[in-house]
Amino acid sequence: MSHIFEALQRAEAERSGGNSSKVPDSVADLLERALARGDQRGEAVPVLGAAIGDSLDAETLLAARVLLPTPAGDARLVCLNDQGSLAAEKFRVLGLRLRNLREKRKLKRIVVTSTIPEEGKTLCAANLALNQSRSKVLRTLLVDGDLRRPALCSRFGLSRSLPGLTECLRGEKQLSEVLYKLNGTNLWFLPAGTPPENPLELMQSGRTADLLDRLGNFFDWVIIDSPPVFPLADTAFWMKLSDGVLLVVREGVSERQPLKRVMEIVDRSVLLGIVVNSYTNGDHKSYYQRYGAPSSSPVESPAENS
């Protein structure tokens, strides 16, 4: 990490005409200066140092493409479009609890999953990542780890043809080519890419752990949207590489037996908790209308197909 920082400092000193006194003395300051410089030119914003790419040469600074999210009307990304809603407030509470846990244990890679499809795990992963990305100190990456039925691009109104994790694991694309920054947010995004024929085999090729380690050098939160636990084995693989697991269940959809089986399978040491999606409670609505900002959105937790 120190080699990367030194390379960035040298590059910034060159831009400053060799005046080392004008060079920031922290990675955060260097990146903020790079962001400001890119904004002034109206260009794609350079966001990360070269080590997350494929060279330690300062001349190969990773320039992430800036994408404009245009979520569909039913996407319900409340942490992007309706931050005054009770649903967004619930994600803020969830984020706060995770930050508190982080003070007691290692917590960077978080897998968000569900027992079966249709419980809203993708929606929860996206909103949680958007909430965590509001920090001006901690950087957040959202990873679409569902290589079978990727849904995050659709959530953000982005092209499904974006190259991503699949192409990186195959060696067809460098990591520096498949990271994107969502315009108007502080959130970086690694899409799933083209669904492969054998997702689990590809993930077990040996590159996944190394990729996450490299990402961990630059991101403080890595939120991974994984497939449901049943009937696939993909999520068990993601769990082994994670620091914690959030299990999403949906009121009126989740069934007792699959949930019971998941609780028997998941390692309790990594289970952070259960997120109850689409939970309704009239008392919560009344309380929030008296003390919080009014919102036109439904007050129950958002729920969409994952």
Burial of 62 per CB tally in 10 Å (0-12, 13-18, 19+) = buried
Q: Which residues, in sequence order, are bridge partners of residue 276?
A: 249
Say what the pLDDT of residue 115 is.
87
Worst-scoring range by mean pLDDT, 46-60, 76-90, 259-273? 46-60
> How many residues make up the chain in this entry?
306
Which CATH number among 3.90.199.10, 2.30.180.10, 3.20.20.70, 3.40.50.300 corresponds to the domain 78-291?
3.40.50.300
Q: Which helix (H) or strand (E) holds 48?
A: strand 46-48
**Least-confidence region, from 35-44, 60-69, 73-82, 243-252:** 35-44
Contacts of 76 (CB under 8 A, 6+ apart): 87, 123, 297, 302, 303, 304
- Three-state SS across 56-97? CCHHHCEECEEECCCCCCCCCCHHHHCCCCHHHHHHHHHHHH
Task: Give one DSSP letter per residue of 221-278, joined into a string.
Answer: EEEEE---SSS-SHHHHHHHT-SEEEEEEETTT--HHHHHHHHHHS-TTTEEEEEEET
Strand 180-182 with 65-67, pairing = parallel
Given a cut of 50, is residue 236 above it in pLDDT?
yes
First to last CA, the chain: 36
Q: What is the arithmetic mean of pLDDT over 38-60?
A: 36
- Domain boundary assignment for the chain: 2-63, 78-291
| Residues whose CB is less than 8 angstroms from the CB of residue 164 and which lie 6 or more positions away in sequence, other chains included | 144, 150, 178, 190, 191, 192, 193
Query: Is the pLDDT score of 41 beyond 50?
Result: no
Q: Which residue has the higher pLDDT, 10 or 81?
A: 81
Cα–Cα dist 224/233, whole Å = 15
